[in-house]
Amino acid sequence: MGHGISEAIVDPIQRPDSPAIRLHNVDKRFGEHTVLDQVSLSVDPGQVLALIGPSGAGKSTLLRCINLLERPTGGTITVDGVTIEAGHTVSANELAKLRSRVGMVFQSFNLFPHMTALKNIALPQQRVLGRSKKEAEDRAHALLKRVGLADKAQQYPTRCSGGQQQRIAIARALALDPKVMLFDEPTSALDPEVGLEVLRVMRELADEGMTMAVVTHEMQFARNVSDHLVVMSQGRILEEGDPRQIFANPQQQRTREFLRAVLERE
């Protein structure tokens, strides 16, 4: 792994077995405060990674490092063959290249409230990929249909329920044809029943082979949909592996306590 950073720059088509996401010794400090401490993990193409752990563990920060919404203070990040090393200044081009490969869905949806659902999905395609308005809108309509919101195209986000907004946000991210999708507690702001419609869309996405990294408190989703589970605490990976195995038989005391606490709440 030590010299593996440069080889990841090779075109992924020549290396079909290379991971879609790889973090190597990633550190993130805010001033004195270490939020991520030597985190390494990789996600293979088509895999679904679930990230769980107590609040403040650094899950969001980890996710946000993958698309450089946060700049890691140490380590390297590779997404679909594009490698970014901490400490190097990232050119606008590199950043655009990396972000074009990664879609992100936020807990608070973050739709643009002054645009219709259709425009929320179409505009980024026009701006980022240079698609024509027609092309972008056709794609937006198709995606709205896919997330079950064909009739909401002309609706403004504030007129939509939380679950609908989140599905629009997923469609917006998918419209840019990302190689990887990041989800940061996509259902935490939603009522449980409403969260289900979002989880259903995510599950379909996983079934279609999308590579996903999902921070979640939905233990059902983590157990049943994810291929790989990472448990984080205090900026470190506490344990990782097959989700069913970890749920059935956690190796760490801290994991056991965490799982007991969340499962009791459910």
Partner 1 sequence: MTGIMDDFMTYQQELVNGLGVSISLALLTFALGLPGGLLLAVASFNRAKAVRILAVVFVEVGRGTPALVMLQLVYYGLPVTLTAFLSAAIALSLTTAAYTSEIIRGGLRGVPAGEIEAADALGLRAFHTMRDVVVPQGLRIALPPLLGFCIIMFQATTLAFTIAVPELMAQAKSIASSNFHYFNLFLIAGLLYALITIPASIFTDRVADKLARHT
Applying CB under 8 A, which residues contact partner 1? 67, 69, 92, 96, 99-100, 102-104, 106, 108, 110-114, 123-124, 127-128, 169, 172-173, 176
- Residue 128 CA to residue 103 CA, distance in Å, equals 12
Binding mask 52-81 for ligand ADP (x = CB under 6 A): -x-xxxxxxx--------------------
Of 29-37, 98-106, 115-123, 248-256, which part binds ligand ADP (CB under 6 A)?
29-37
At 259, is the secondary structure helix, strand, or coil?
helix
Which phi and psi (to 5°) does residue 148 adopt? 80, 25
Give the count of beta carbons closer than 10 Å to the beta carbon of residue 144: 23
58 binds, among Mg ion, partner 1, ligand ADP, none (CB under 5 to 8 A by kind): ligand ADP
Q: What angle do CA 31, 37, 43 make, to 5 degrees?
A: 125
- Name which of ligand ADP, partner 1, Mg ion, none residue 173 binds, using a CB cut-off of 5 to 8 Å depending on partner kind: partner 1
Residue 56 interacts, among ligand ADP, partner 1, Mg ion, none and using kind-specific CB cut-offs from 5 to 8 Å, with ligand ADP
Q: Is 219 left (phi over 0), alpha (psi -120 to 50) or beta?
A: alpha
30 binds ligand ADP (CB under 6 A): yes
Mask of contacts with Mg ion, 52-71, x by CB under 5 A? --------x-----------
In angstroms, the Cα distances linking 177 to 99, 140, 180 are 11, 12, 9
Residue 24 in 3-state DSSP?
strand
Look-up of token digits 């195209």: 153
Q: What residue ranges bind ligand ADP (CB under 6 A)?
A: 30, 33, 35, 53, 55-61
Q: What residue ranges bind Mg ion (CB under 5 A)?
A: 60
